[in-house]
Amino acid sequence: MFLKQELANDRITYLIINAINGRLTQQELIELDEWRKEKAAHEALFNEISSESLSIHDQWQKSDSQLGFAKLQGRLKTEKKRRLYTIWSSAAAIVIILFTFGILLPRKNPETDAILFLAAKNITSARHGATLTVSGLKIDLSVNRSGLVVSEHGLGFEDGARLDQLKDTKILTKELIATTAKGFTYHLTLSDGTKVWLNANSSLKFPSTFLHASTREVRLEGEAYFQVKHISSQPFIVHTIRSTTKDIGTSFNIKDYPNDAMATSTLEEGSTLVWANITGKSESKQNGIILTPGHQASISQEKLNIAAVDLEEDLAWKNGYFRFNNQKLTEIMKNLSRWYDIDVEFEGKISDEGLYGTISRDKNLYEVLRMLEDTKEVKFLVKGRRVIVSTEK
């Protein structure tokens, strides 16, 4: 392993490695920045190293890294005489060093309004998967890319595969719990044909069958979109901690995360009856409000409010993208935390001004943060899966 003094034999090599590692002092950052500004070739080399670092695997031997280090030293000393297209070899060389010694972490760029690290490029969007709990047995549903289907014949998947783990377990009338962790989403079909899309960090409790029940009732924590199969004689009801939503032939979205300021029920099609759960009152004595398409019921501190909303924004997660329409940064970061499985910290005073933007949820975290950075009001530090957020104001 190289000692610090060996790395320091070439000052620029030392600065590049530690910039990507995030360990430079402010004075060293300025020094590196001045070197990058000297020539276009310097900036190209630094950028090439940054991009190449994401595509190189960490299966390198010490001899390779020593050779790579030597090549980089030579490249930096003779860059005047080489053509720009040979830069890639130096980039690969330094990446060998970084991966070998486990120091590939994000880079700082003091010239941008946001300081974004390379680690953010490695944090990808949510995957399809969930855990199903039946009588205490936990089953990983992510092994099959197709959604779970509950039927009178048992449990299986949309592609026809069966859920073998339950072949000896009777599930009739049993309560099932589908749970998504941070960074995972899932869709399933209930026994009545109702389709449910679970957002990240959510759970849905539902019976294996609705037969012989006067109502079809499920309990949600988190966020889900419901495409309900309407059965007039058997109402479909969704309970959350703060709200109850009753289907009257509809497709709707419900969001009620414990750490959010409010719960919401947003109607896309049909109609629903929504009421706030009030402590000490039974559902029969609570006042409900009928929603019409394009409207949202919001519940905060047991108070119910109705407003017209932008359906594209509220249903964006289900349709595969983020849409920020005058949304506060704190709320945006909550959503990103669930989708990318990251921990978010705020430093200093965070502006309450709304932000705007639309981007695919398939993008990696780096690309989303870059979009937010373009507001010129926010900057980020990304260390592993921890994101530190601050604003310029």
Tens-digit pLDDT profile for residues 96-111: 444 444 443 334 444 4
For the beta carbon of residue 264, count every other beta carbon within 10 angstroms: 23
Q: How many domains does the chain have?
A: 3
Domain that holds residue 92: 4-103
Taking CA atoms, 46 is separated from 118, 119, 373, in Å, by: 12, 16, 21
Same domain, 80 and 210: no
Query: Which structure tokens are listed for 156?
Result: 């299986």
Same domain, 302 and 328: no
Residues 164-175, mean pLDDT to the nearest whole number: 64
Same domain, 328 and 301: no
The answer to whether position 113 is within a domain reads: no
Same domain, 300 and 341: no
Query: Which structure tokens are listed for 114?
Result: 């946001």
Domain of residue 327, CATH code: 3.55.50.30
pLDDT of residue 15: 76
Taking CA atoms, 59 is separated from 52, 96, 231, 243, 309, in Å, by: 15, 9, 57, 52, 51
The answer to whether position 118 is within a domain reads: no
The answer to whether position 111 is within a domain reads: no
Same domain, 167 and 309: yes
The answer to whether position 52 is within a domain reads: yes
pLDDT digit string, tens, across residues 260-298: 999 999 999 999 999 998 876 666 556 788 999 999 999
The kind and range of the H/E element at 336 are helix 329-340
Q: Which of 314, 346, 379 is the last residue of a domain?
A: 314
The answer to whether position 234 is within a domain reads: yes
- Spatial distance between the Cα atoms of 365 and 339, rounded to a whole number of angstroms: 9
Q: Decide: helix, strand or coil at residue 86.
A: helix
Same domain, 324 and 310: no
Residues 341-367, mean pLDDT to the nearest whole number: 87
Candidate from 195-209, 270-284, 354-368 with smallest mean pLDDT: 270-284
pLDDT of residue 232: 86
pTM, two decimals, is: 0.68
Residues 331-353, mean pLDDT to the nearest whole number: 90
Same domain, 197 and 333: no
The answer to whether position 73 is within a domain reads: yes
The answer to whether position 108 is within a domain reads: no
Q: Write down the number of H helices and E strands in the chain.
A: 10, 21
- Spatial distance between the Cα atoms of 335 and 266, rounded to a whole number of angstroms: 17
Q: Which of 263, 273, 264, 163 is nearest to 228 (CA)?
A: 273
pLDDT digit string, tens, across residues 36-69: 888 887 777 776 665 544 433 332 233 344 444 4
Same domain, 248 and 384: no
Q: Which of 68, 103, 138 is the last residue of a domain?
A: 103
Q: CB–CB of 273/246 below 8 Å?
A: yes
Same domain, 30 and 89: yes
- Spatial distance between the Cα atoms of 54 and 329, rounded to a whole number of angstroms: 28
Same domain, 148 and 212: yes
Q: Which of 295, 314, 333 is the last residue of a domain?
A: 314
Residues 127-134, mean pLDDT to the nearest whole number: 91
The answer to whether position 386 is within a domain reads: yes
Domain of residue 205, CATH code: 2.60.120.1440
Same domain, 56 and 171: no
Same domain, 231 and 270: yes
